[in-house]
Amino acid sequence: MRKELSPHLTIYSTQISSGLSIFHRMTGVILAGAIMLVIPAMLAYTFFGNGIEIAFEIFYPILFVIMGAISYHAANGIRHFIWDTGAYVSTEGVKTTAVLLAILAASFFCSLLYVLV
Amino acid sequence: MSHWIIQRISSVLLLFLLSFTIFVDFRFYILLAACIAVHVNHGFDSIFLDYVHNAQAKNALSTLVKFALFASFVFIGVILL
């Protein structure tokens, strides 16, 4: 029988800690996809598209997804730094930092919105 | 341990270099690209380590990520620089 080697999504019920951790990886993959595919594609379209500009209806949703992903990923990265010091490594601590994470990610997103849009 | 240290150092550098390169001096792009490459590569390696159980497939995927990162950075660099 083939056994699972690591905490797989199919084994555990969703918790705040695992959910946020999975979302951290998902946003990382989204950002990597943005770097490897979306940004080069947009640049190629802009520079080699014979002056055709990307429609706002396409550009802004992509920009907002990237901004959201980078805000969450950076905020959760800072949360990992806090955990690295040994602080908040408990069930209550995880819940507390989850709230702080939401506030920090929202403030990052608003800052990016203010600077870029 | 070294994986953890590399991931943390590259993330700290990323936080500073990302805004610095975009808003202050674009010549730091090469350093930023190197940091992103290290961070993304290690991030994907963590995912592959958890979910890909075949060593050859794991290495192939890791190489693919490295190649894709390198190609996209060269492309973005050539256009923007």
For chain B, say whether A4 makes contact (Cβ under 8 Å).
no
Q: What is the DSSP letter of A90?
A: S
**CA atoms in the 13 A half-sphere facing the CB of A36:** 17
Tens digits of residue pLDDT in A3-53 = 656 666 677 777 888 889 999 999 999 999 999 988 888 888 888 877 677
- Picking from A5, A25, A35, the nearest residue to B47 by CB comes out as A25
Element (H, E) at B26: none
Indicate the pTM of the whole model.
0.86
Residue type, B57: A
The two tokens of residue A68 are: 């959201």
Q: Note whether B76 contacts A6, CB cutoff 8 Å.
A: no
- Picking from B40, B50, B75, the nearest residue to A32 by CB comes out as B40
CB-count burial class (<10 Å; 0-12, 13-18, 19+) for A25? middle
- Predicted-complex ipTM score: 0.88
Tens digits of residue pLDDT in A66-76 = 999 999 999 99
Tens digits of residue pLDDT in A95-112 = 999 999 999 999 999 999
- Domains of chain A, residue spans: 17-116
Q: Assign domain A17-116 one CATH number from 1.20.1300.10, 1.10.3720.10, 3.40.50.620, 1.10.10.10.
A: 1.20.1300.10
Residues 6 or more apart whose Cβ sits within 8 Å of residue B76: A39, A40, A43, B33
